[in-house]
Amino acid sequence: MSHHFHANPTRREALYGLGAGLGSVAFSSLLQGAGAKTIHHPAKAKRCIFLMMEGGPSHIDTFDPKPELTKRHLQKFNRQGERESAMSSGQRYFVKSPFEFEKAGQSGTDISSEWVHLKNQVDDICFYRGAKVDSVNHPTACYQLNTGNRFGGDPGIGSWVTYGLGSENQNLPGFVVLPRTSYPQGGAGNWSNGFLPADFQGTPLRPKGSPILDLTPPTGTSRKRQRQNLDLLAKLNQDHLTRHPDRSELSARMASYELSYRMQTEVPELLDLKGEKESTLEDYGVGQRNTDAFGRKCLLARRLVEKGVRFVQAYAGNWDSHDYIARAHGSLIRSVDKPIAALLKDLKQRGMLEDTLVVWCGEFGRTPDNGMRGGLSYGRDHNANAMAMWFAGGGTRAGHTIGATDDIGAKAVDCVHHIRDVHCTILHLLGLDDNKLTYYHAGRHKQLSQFGGEVIRELIG
């Protein structure tokens, strides 16, 4: 089944005329349609939380231990005929992980000892070591991970999901993004609607200030007065619509105003964490110096999917550790460890993990070698041939590690799949077939995988 959307210019003009504030967000949610659309096959997951570790976390220093690197530490790296480093120049050296690894859970999963809290949740996680991408540049790699296209301009994966499944809550956007204060490389193109209708773009909630512009009524305007204004405007618009029944964009705008009004009631309550138990806030690390920022995102992600939001993407970074990897990666792991562990535990306790897919990854992995810039401040460069990735819930194979990299972590060698197959797998778990979830644009049917892929069956429980 192929999907087709036809938006005439006047309707599109009406959409853009709503501006960048709450009106455009409301209109986006409105046009996603009431309730779920027809899925292609039985779904294992109803929703997805995508934890995006921007900058490229090192698989070698998180979930993929390499004892061989300990043996070769600081030996010269000179594998003839191979350019293992994305940014190699001058003399390079093998670099061991500064962290110890341990076996955790009943599954005996390998995990860096820096993951103090997540190690207690490994039996709910499926670790995957076989993924690879095409680019070693941050913007193009981020685009490929998020949209399938290295060069941008295509819809984000959350856009494809809401396009295929619709929304479960007409008072909230179907695709919500929780970015850092500074947007990821490539900017908002990482959650763009691309060539899909504009209503499928991701809605970013700003980490500082008002999460959404125009979320509160103007100063001096009460809810009662606002309601009266909307009722009067609706009457005038309805009179006009009666005389011009072909102007469909007017009825859409009218509904958008009503949705904006409802969002002003629901969204502030949703974003207010004061109603959560103190123990819950403590578990997520809210109010604690190192974990507050990402803890709030993880807790908000749970609250959003609980309210029917289909796809939530939360960003953390920057994992681009070319130097001082022990200090840089150590700090980053501590900032996300407690919040992520709390998220998985919370979802499971609420009976939501079974049908909520949680994804953790960055845009690529990192190399087993590095130059020695600044004395012994070694780190790692970009690596498109091996990367860290895991899944939890949503029908994935809990308590397993799938795939492998070579003995130094330079490239994936077992159960190797391109990122397009990861995309196909995510869609499959949500009841969507990448080959059927298409949109006709520029003379051909387009899809998330670009030109087709396969489901990674080993990841599915």
Residue 216, pLDDT score: 65
Alpha-carbon gap, residue 385 to 44, rounded angstroms? 29
Q: Is position 2 within any domain?
A: no
Residue 93 CB burial class (10 angstroms; 0-12, 13-18, ≥19):
middle
Q: Which residues on neighbouring strands pair with residue 177, listed in sequence order?
A: 204, 313
- Alpha-carbon Rg for the chain, nearest whole angstrom, is 23
Q: What is the full per-residue pLDDT of the chain (461 aa) written as tens digits?
A: 334 433 333 433 333 333 334 444 444 444 444 445 779 999 999 999 999 999 999 999 999 999 999 999 989 887 554 554 545 556 788 999 999 999 999 999 999 999 999 999 999 999 999 999 999 999 999 999 999 999 999 999 999 999 999 988 888 889 999 999 889 999 999 999 999 987 788 989 877 666 665 556 667 677 677 677 777 877 787 877 788 776 655 654 565 565 556 666 667 788 889 889 999 999 999 999 999 999 999 999 999 999 999 999 999 989 999 989 999 999 999 999 999 999 999 999 999 999 999 999 999 999 998 866 655 678 899 999 999 999 999 999 999 999 999 999 999 999 999 999 999 999 999 999 999 999 999 999 999 999 999 999 999 99
For 92-230, strand residue ranges (E) read 92-94, 101-104, 109-112, 125-128, 131-132, 166-167, 175-178, 203-204
- Strand duo 417-418 + 131-132: pairing: parallel
CA 66 to each of CA 78, 350, 454: distance values in angstroms, whole numbers, following the listed order: 18, 37, 29
Residue 251, pLDDT score: 58
Residue 371, pLDDT score: 67
H or E element, residue 24:
helix 22-31
Give which of 215, 211, 221 is closest to 178, Cα–Cα.
211
- Give buried/exposed letters for 338-368 (b at 16+ CB in 10 A, else e): bbbbbbbbbbbeeebbebbbbbbbbbbbbbb
Tokens 């604690």 identify what position?
288
Cα-based torsion angle of the residue sequence 15, 16, 19, 20 in order, rounded to the nearest 10 degrees = 100
Alpha-carbon gap, residue 270 to 211, rounded angstroms? 11
Q: Letter for the amino acid at 320?
A: D
Residue 381, pLDDT score: 92
Structure tokens at 57: 């976390």
Residue 173, pLDDT score: 86
Q: What is the DSSP letter of 435?
A: T
- Give buried/exposed letters for 138-164 (b at 16+ CB in 10 A, else e): bbbbbbbbbbbbbebebbbbbbbbbbb
Interhelix angle 325-349/292-306, nearest 10 degrees = 30
Residue 171, pLDDT score: 84
Its domain, for residue 440, covers 9-459
Alpha-carbon gap, residue 145 to 286, rounded angstroms? 29
Q: Is position 316 within any domain?
A: yes
Q: Is position 425 within any domain?
A: yes
Alpha-carbon gap, residue 329 to 403, rounded angstroms? 23
| Ramachandran quadrant class, 60 (left: phi over 0; alpha: psi -120 to 50; beta: rest) | alpha
Counted domains in the chain: 1
